[in-house]
Structure 1
Amino acid sequence: MELMEALRTRRAVREFTGVPVEEDVIEELIGAAILAPSAVNLQPWGFAVVQGVERLHGLSAEAKHHVQAHLPPGSPLAIHAADPAFAIFHGAAALVVICAINDESQSSEDCCLAGENFMLAAHARGLGTCWIGLSRPWLNDPAVKAKLGIPARWHAVAPIILGHRGTLPPPTPRGKARIVWSR
């Protein structure tokens, strides 16, 4: 897939078939992620992979409970999370959590760059992804890290669900770019 086409057609996917994504495909996508630039080439990322629709369904309920307990009442996200039909991980086959493995000031941003590479590579393979930022505080809870095998020192930055997409959503309208020129 040509790069500009991938940028124009990639979408946040929230409907999946439930078919597993093979581990070698996930490793290939992680290989694309680590091609991202990083400050002074520190490559400060680590990857935690959680697989299985049923497992993610159970974890989704835990994450949703955490979100509901920690968001301010009346927040649009809290209202969305209160919907009984809402599942944070949307029935995906896998969750790939890109974590900053050190405390350097630029590491989180570098992990975000890796996340974009990951999502574009998945889209080019015909797979769907969605960045689930709402789950980040839950994923950084020490008990949750221990449960998922994420090293205590790692910091979850980019939780991305992955799977065979059910449908590709239509494009979301984009506003005009806000640009300030300084000459």
Structure 2
Amino acid sequence: MDILECINSKRSIRAYTDEIIPEETLNNIIKLGTKASTGSGQEPWGFVVIQDKDEIDSLSEITKKYLLENMEKYPYLNQYESWLTNPRFSVFNHANTLLIIYGNTESHWHVYDCSLAAGNIMLAAHSMGIGTCWIGFAEHTLNTKEFKGKYNVPEQYELVCPMSIGYMKAKLAPPNRKKPIIFNK
């Protein structure tokens, strides 16, 4: 798949097969992510990969519980309350792989650089028939001192992108987007 076809057809995927992504494939996708542009050559990214379905399911339940108990902090999530109370809903889309990108806050550009790496990862994965979805619900859970300690994430690294990733159950139609707003025209 050429790059233009990849960009034009990439969608957020929320339904995956049970097939496990091989370690070599994941490492290649991450390596492609690190080819992203980086401010001042800092390369401030670090990664955690979880492929334990029970761990991922547990993190989903912890996230749902936390969000429901703290909805006043996240008013923009009120529209998803019925999802969060649904016992069948998985924050991580029932994926068997979770890829988490952290940025070293010692770099002023860590959020930008890690977001660019996430974009590369999403496009590289899509070109291989692997779907991804950035998981905004997990912003708190995966950035706690306890979680970061369990996975050896240094203190100065902050969560940038939690991503479910897996082989797509179905190929979706290309996305439809609004016409870009160009302010000076």
TM-score normalised by the chain length of structure 2? 0.90
User: What is the aligned-residue identity percentage?
Assistant: 29
Match of 2:161 in 1: 158
Q: In 2, Cα distance between the equivalents of 1:57 and 1:40? A: 38
Q: Structure 1 unaligned runs (5+)?
A: none
Q: Aligned partner of 2:127: which letter? A: A
Alignment pair present for 1:126 and 2:141:
no
> 2:100 touches 2:163 (CA, 8 Å); kept in 1?
yes
Deviation at 1:43, TM superposition (A): 0.5
Deviation at 1:94, TM superposition (A): 0.9
Deviation at 1:131, TM superposition (A): 0.6
Q: 2:145 aligns with which of 139, 142, 146?
A: 142
Match of 2:6 in 1: 6
Alignment pair present for 1:77 and 2:60:
no
> 1:49 touches 1:96 (CA, 8 Å); kept in 2?
yes
Q: In 2, Cα distance between the equivalents of 1:147 and 1:71? A: 26
Match of 1:22 in 2: 22
Q: Aligned partner of 1:31: which letter? A: K
Alignment pair present for 1:58 and 2:58:
yes
Q: Aligned partner of 1:59: which letter? A: L
Q: In 2, Cα distance between the equivalents of 1:168 and 1:135? A: 25
Q: In 1, Cα distance between the equivalents of 2:54 and 2:88? A: 16
Secondary structure in 2 matching 1:37: coil
Q: Paired residues, what number?
A: 182
> 2:59 touches 2:141 (CA, 8 Å); kept in 1?
no
Matching of residues 110-125 of structure 1 within 5 Å? 110-125=113-128
Over 3 Å counting, the alpha-carbon distance change for 1:106 and 1:181 in structure 2 is: same
> 2:8 touches 2:175 (CA, 8 Å); kept in 1?
no
Q: In 1, Cα distance between the equivalents of 2:136 and 2:176? A: 21
Q: In 2, Cα distance between the equivalents of 1:103 and 1:79? A: 39
Alignment pair present for 1:109 and 2:150:
no
Q: Aligned partner of 2:105: which letter? A: N
Q: Aligned partner of 1:35: which letter? A: K
Match of 2:170 in 1: 167
Q: In 2, Cα distance between the equivalents of 1:174 and 1:148? A: 37
Q: Which range is displaced more, 73-82 or 95-104?
A: 73-82
Q: Structure 2 unaligned runs (5+)?
A: none
Q: CA RMSD in A?
A: 1.7
Deviation at 1:173, TM superposition (A): 2.6
TM-score normalised by the chain length of structure 1? 0.91
